[in-house]
């Protein structure tokens, strides 16, 4: 995404040029003064992102994989249909393979690579180890999945310079290196700046990169708007519809025009994003999930109702294990069916009594499946459980009592 960057020095030099600011007639600091949400609590936000995480974990237990193209995905069989690459090593990326690519396409590009099955349990354990290591530095950590976290630098002296943030990044990198893993750290005034900085950090020699408010325009102005955090293909297409290609183009759009086209909420957000503004809150506990779901895409479409019932049973059971592990209780069950023609339908049922009874939940899922008129072979099946609010176990006798019962 972000290339041709030579590290922090380079960043500073172009910041001095501030060519976008001048070209657009903007005083970057004045604009940024309005929209950035610099916080007293966290003068800097760090975005920590492990490098080629799953591959690195695999290499930790199998050092012979070092320096070889390694691809993690599916069950490790590169000819497995409808499965995608979860993680590709840098050597595999050099061969044109990237995460999200169908395994079979990856195999055409890199037949000589080592293909490994996704081992979620091992990656989860490694992730816990990593997050604990990040937390040990004493600053609040917000986990964003297996291999990503935001860290809010706690203020010390009235010291707005980035030196302390860089020092923390350096310490975190060394602590993670001691686990035999590698970390890149982006540093910014808010989450979006920090995440963007990580894109540059991946290319930097020391894997650390700082973006301050004044660096934003010179660094990002020329880049496509889709390089901005949270701008996906759909928003990008809509932006192109109003003549916006680059971040600088987006900066030049009147705020009213943005809210007209994108609605109040997204319009304001785009206005803020383009100017390097963003969110500075660090939430150390993940918000409680409202629901959990699990889907399965079949290697071959299924038209046998008996086999479908078996699959829905299995999904309902596996999903329940997750719910029970978190000490939650199910209040509603939903089943999704996608047929060969890609028609996707969902039916749901609110349970009379909230439960984590396996047989009851499987029966509810099967009843929902039966209610579909399935006239074509099924490509995908999904089960969702909506969960009772605050049903997290933490000393809740009811939930833990249920959990013990469900362990059978
Ligand atoms: Mg990563």
Helix H, strand E, coil C: the string for 105-137 is: HHHHHCCCCEEECCCHHHHHHHHHHHHHHHHCC
Measured in whole angstroms, how far is the alpha carbon of residue 154 from the centre of its chain?
A: 24
DSSP annotation string for 244-304: --BHHHHHTS-HHHHHHHHHHHHHHHHHHHHTT-------SSPPPPSEEEEEEEEEEEE--
**pLDDT, tens digit, 9 for 90 and up, residues 279-311:** 999 988 766 778 888 989 898 999 999 999 999
Q: Name the pTM for this structure.
A: 0.66
- Residue 69: the pLDDT is 97
Residue 404 pLDDT: 30
Look at the block and give the residue holding tokens 């000589």.
112
Q: Which domains does the chain have, with CATH numbers?
A: 291-406 (3.30.1490.100)
Cα 57 to ligand 1 centre (Å): 12
Distance 148 CA to ligand 1 centre (A): 6
What is the predicted pLDDT for the residue at 326?
82
CA distance 279 to 64: 42
Low-confidence ranges of the chain (pLDDT < 50): 1-38, 392-408
> Judging by DSSP bridges, how do beta strands 114-116 and 70-72 pair with one another?
parallel
What is the DSSP secondary-structure string of 31-88? HHHHH----SS-S-EEEEEETTHHHHHHHHH-GGGTTS-EEE-TTS-TT-TT-B-SEE
Angle between helices 255-274 and 233-241 (to 10 degrees): 140
CA–centroid distance, 269 to ligand 1, in Å, is: 25
What is the whole-number distance in angstroms between the Cα of residue 404 and the centre of ligand 1?
A: 36
Catalytic positions, written as ranges: 148
- Ligand 1 centre to CA of 145 (Å) is 10
Give the number of other CB atoms < 10 A from CB of residue 196.
28
The reported pLDDT for the residue numbered 2 is 38
**Rg of the chain, C-alpha, whole Å:** 24
109 and 139 Cβ atoms separated by less than 8 Å: no
Ligand 1 centre to CA of 48 (Å) is 8
Query: Which residues on neighbouring strands pair with residue 48, listed in sequence order?
Result: 149, 185
Q: How far is the CA of 146 from the centre of ligand 1 (A)?
A: 8
Residue showing tokens 């320096």: 67
Nearest one of 3, 397, 35 to 216, comparing CA atoms: 35
CA of 197 to the centre of ligand 1 (A): 13
Q: Which residues hold their Cβ within 5 A of ligand 1, which is an ion?
A: 49-50, 53, 147
**pLDDT given for residue 303 in this prediction:** 92
The pLDDT score that the predictor gives to residue 82 is 86
- pLDDT at position 286, please? 63
């Amino acid at each position: 995404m972000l290339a041709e960057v030579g590290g922090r020095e380079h960043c500073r030099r172009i910041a001095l040029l501030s060519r976008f600011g001048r070209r657009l007639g903007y005083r970057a600091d004045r604009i940024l003064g309005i929209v950035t949400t610099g916080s007293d609590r966290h003068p800097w936000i760090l975005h920590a992102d492990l490098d080629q995480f799953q591959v690195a974990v695999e290499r930790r237990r199998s050092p012979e994989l070092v320096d070889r193209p390694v691809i993690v995905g599916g069950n490790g069989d590169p000819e497995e249909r409808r499965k995608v690459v979860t993680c590709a090593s840098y050597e595999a990326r050099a061969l044109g393979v990237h995460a999200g690519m169908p395994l079979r396409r990856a195999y055409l590009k890199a037949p000589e690579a080592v293909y490994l099955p996704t081992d979620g349990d091992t990656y989860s354990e490694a992730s816990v180890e990593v997050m604990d290591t990040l937390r040990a530095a004493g600053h609040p950590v917000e986990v964003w999945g297996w291999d990503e976290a935001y860290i809010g630098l706690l203020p010390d002296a009235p010291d707005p310079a980035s030196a302390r943030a860089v020092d923390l990044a350096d310490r975190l990198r060394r602590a993670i290196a001691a686990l035999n893993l590698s970390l890149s750290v982006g540093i910014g005034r808010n989450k979006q700046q920090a995440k963007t900085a990580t894109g540059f950090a991946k290319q930097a020699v020391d894997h650390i990169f700082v973006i301050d408010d004044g660096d934003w325009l010179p660094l990002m102005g020329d880049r496509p708007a889709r390089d901005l955090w949270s701008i996906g293909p759909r928003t990008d297409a809509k932006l192109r519809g109003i003549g916006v290609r680059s971040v600088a183009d987006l900066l030049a759009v009147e705020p009213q025009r943005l809210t007209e086209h994108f609605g109040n909420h997204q319009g304001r957000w785009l206005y803020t994003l383009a100017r390097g503004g963003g969110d500075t809150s660090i939430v150390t506990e993940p918000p409680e999930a409202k629901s959990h779901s699990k889907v399965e895409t079949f290697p071959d479409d299924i038209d046998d109702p008996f086999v479908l019932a078996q699959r829905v049973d299995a999904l309902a059971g596996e999903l329940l294990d997750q719910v029970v592990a978190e000490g939650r209780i199910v209040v509603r069950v939903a089943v999704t069916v996608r047929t060969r023609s890609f028609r996707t339908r969902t039916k749901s049922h609110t349970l009379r009594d909230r439960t984590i009874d396996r047989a009851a939940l499987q029966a509810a899922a099967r009843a929902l499946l039966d209610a579909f008129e399935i006239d074509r072979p099924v490509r995908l099946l999904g089960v969702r459980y909506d969960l009772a609010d605050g049903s997290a176990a933490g000393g809740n006798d009811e939930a833990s009592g249920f959990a013990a019962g469900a362990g059978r």
